Structure 1
């Protein structure tokens, strides 16, 4: 029956996304480590599901740069180099700077909000997310921080009205966290090591102060790169 077929497709699609999200969290938490290999069968047995949604989820994560597919061995967690991290940070900088042009030139989402009410309401929600991220960063809880930080940047980028840039930035941020976690897990105490100026960035954007916002982001990227370079150097 058409209805049954459609429901089955929706269920499989939802399961595919749930598995992809769960595995992404495992990689971000460092529980699935760089170079670790596994097969579709192993993951399907672990989650108690059929192979099809697992294979689709793993292909999705491969397309996002988190896994590598091997025709004979299955999949392995992608291992990012320091050069990769530098490239990701550079790309992240360019995307964020492009978003800030919405404030400089009145483009994208901001042009449709002449009284600023929609933008301010959205930024208020983003700021609350930033407060949670800051608390996690100051406490050195990188797992909690990653969750709030990804949501913070996802919601912040959505304010600028360009879904393509928002999606690309989210992908870059996931990849940069995967790379950073590979090094951060070497530290037993992360307090004082993690960037925690989310609310300062939002406050600058509320005032449409793109100069201050760019300075905050530049300092953030310099800080992140310095930490990873120091850890990668031994």
Structure 2
């Protein structure tokens, strides 16, 4: 989902700004999904069924609701990274639902997922407060990511053939384009995709999931004001992806180690 006009949602359920301009499509009902209203026998009103066998009733819109929740979750994550959801502020599901054009239920479900991830915390009878984080937590996340990712990449540099690294070049180029746009949310998505693709070469799905979670947490904004990393910082960060791919393909372990150290230090 692309990020729309930015602004801030109502705090404590009374704000007037916009967190996300795009409205999620309205959920289709079970009757609408079949192209018209059906009676018990499965016929559409006004049409003859002749001898056709009755069509199965559409499944309840559980999948659609899950899809809406997923869209809302992606939008909220983008709003977090972009700074539209401010650390320390409280946001209610009904107000955010109005901004997205959906009911409060998928928003509440998405917020509960963010609470599990540590991005927000539940405030009884009010909504969800965006967690306040400082530089120390960001530095700790960078340290943990380095402890996990660097040894894996060094092993992959010794075992993965060069042509496999070349296949990841489009993902590295995508991070450069995203960084050039200056949109933190867009860059965050492409940055995670690149790192996950590199780690996926290890064949360890649990590793990829843990690393992605740490990466996502490292992208949340810090308390105390606007986002500090500008377009130039994002472009420099993305350029390191291309250099890293070349070093991995060439098996230059010292270069890989040095680049990863700079990469995680810059992420702070």
**2:218 is aligned with 1:165:** no
TM-score, scaled to structure 1: 0.77
Structure 1 equivalent of residue 122 of structure 2: 69
Residue by residue, what CA displacement relative to the aligned partner does 1:33-92 show, whole Å, maximum 9, x if unpaired?
111211111122222223322221111111112111122321011121111111100111
Residue by residue, what CA displacement relative to the aligned partner does 1:11-44 show, whole Å, maximum 9, x if unpaired?
1111111110000001111111111211111122
Deviation, structure 1 residue 185: 2.5
Q: Contact 1:66/1:78 (CA < 8 Å) preserved in 2?
A: yes
Q: 1:98 to 1:184 in 2, by over 3 A?
A: farther
Structure 2 equivalent of residue 191 of structure 1: 232
Deviation, structure 1 residue 198: 0.6
**Partners of 1:16 and 1:4 in 2: CA distance:** 24
Structure 2 equivalent of residue 151 of structure 1: 193
**Partners of 1:176 and 1:183 in 2: CA distance:** 17
Structure 2 equivalent of residue 218 of structure 1: 261
Which runs of no fewer than 5 residues in structure 1 stay unpaired?
A: 111-115, 226-234
TM-score, scaled to structure 2: 0.68
**Partners of 1:146 and 1:86 in 2: CA distance:** 18
Q: Contact 1:66/1:77 (CA < 8 Å) preserved in 2?
A: yes
Structure 1 equivalent of residue 99 of structure 2: 46
Q: Contact 1:69/1:76 (CA < 8 Å) preserved in 2?
A: yes
Query: What is the number of residues matched between the two proteins?
Result: 212
Structure 1 equivalent of residue 61 of structure 2: 8
Write out aligned runs for 1:73-222 (5 A): 73-100=126-153, 102-103=155-156, 116=161, 120-121=163-164, 123-137=165-179, 141-179=183-221, 185-186=227-228, 190-191=231-232, 194-195=236-237, 196-222=239-265
Residue by residue, what CA displacement relative to the aligned partner does 1:93-126 show, whole Å, maximum 9, x if unpaired?
01102422542775xxx5xxxxx4xx734x3342
Q: 1:104 to 1:11 in 2, by over 3 A?
A: same
Paired residue secondary structure (1:178):
coil
Whichever structure has more helix as a proportion of its residues is 1
Paired residue secondary structure (1:179):
coil
**Partners of 2:186 and 2:103 in 1: CA distance:** 30
Q: 1:179 to 1:4 in 2, by over 3 A?
A: farther
Q: Contact 1:36/1:77 (CA < 8 Å) preserved in 2?
A: yes
Larger-Rg structure: 2
Structure 2 equivalent of residue 232 of structure 1: none
Structure 1 equivalent of residue 5 of structure 2: none
Q: Aligned-residue CA RMSD in angstroms?
A: 2.9
Deviation, structure 1 residue 191: 2.0
